[in-house]
Amino acid sequence: MMRPALAVGEALRQRAAVSDAELDQVFPDELRDRSHLHWTPVAVAIRAAELLAPTADTRVLDVGAGVGKLCLVGALVTGAMWWGIEQDAVQVAAANRAAWALDVTHRTRFVHGDGSRLAWDEFDALYFYNPFSTVMLAPHASPFLRYATIRATLRRVEQHLAAARPGTRVVTFHGFGGALPPGFTRLAREPAADDALELWIR
Ligand SMILES: C[S@@+](CC[C@H](N)C(=O)[O-])C[C@H]1O[C@@H](n2cnc3c(N)ncnc32)[C@H](O)[C@@H]1O
């Protein structure tokens, strides 16, 4: 039998075992089949949160936050503040609802928009789970438009990263689709689920 959302949140706070199937109950049924391919698994999110937020005053942004799984787990296992920006309004609504169910609305914020167009200077740490391969275009959009949109997005992201403050942390899972600009040093690469978590610091 599955525990209620508050008990699942409390278990994560206590670092007790919580499966993905159990946490995913806080998200709408019709979105849950995305979990396996598109959402950070719980165990990976816990480790990513440790790498992103070593102190409670850290402000973290998940660029392409989906239903907010990374931010929600981060808010439960660290004292930091977690922001997610997501291009799909349905997933933003699901993230806000899940934050309420898990009682972490005071340390999470989810906004709807294009993460590559947001100013990132308010944040100390950034998380990318290979977000930019999922572009929201009309179904009949040409492959050329799709490719050009991804390239333009990655150019903006690389420009943001090139302007990041010293000390900015970047954690990737499955990379972000581009290259970290000069000035970033990779401090860790750890196996995580079917890929790796990488920690980069400016
Ligand atoms: C692989 S999922 C990762 C979800 C979440 N970060 C996690 O780890 O559970 C990538 C998400 O990025 C979103 N995305 C892609 N491009 C985006 C953009 N330019 N701005 C905001 N969100 C974007 C997609 O809609 C998708 O929900």
Per-residue pLDDT tens over the stretch 127-164: 999 998 777 666 777 888 888 888 999 999 999 999 99
- Give me the number of domains the chain comprises: 1
Q: 61 falls in which pLDDT band (50, 70, 90)? A: very high
CATH at residue 47: 3.40.50.150
Q: State the alpha helices, DSSP H only, in 30-123.
A: 35-38, 42-52, 69-77, 89-101
Pocket test for ligand 1, best of 67, 87, 159, 176 (most atoms within 8 A of CB): 87
Give distance in angstroms: CA of 63 to centre of ligand 1: 6
Residues 66-116: tens digit of each pLDDT: 999 999 999 999 999 999 999 999 999 999 999 999 999 999 999 999 999
d(CA 171, CA 92): 21
Strands of the sheet with 169-173, listed across from one edge = 108-112, 81-86, 59-63, 125-128, 169-173, 195-201, 185-192
Give distance in angstroms: CA of 1 to centre of ligand 1: 31
Residues with CB under 6 A from ligand 1: 38-40, 62, 64-66, 69-70, 85-88, 91, 114-116, 129-132, 134, 153
Q: Whole domain around residue 112: which residue ranges?
A: 5-201
> Which helix (DSSP H) or strand (DSSP E) does residue 28 occupy?
none
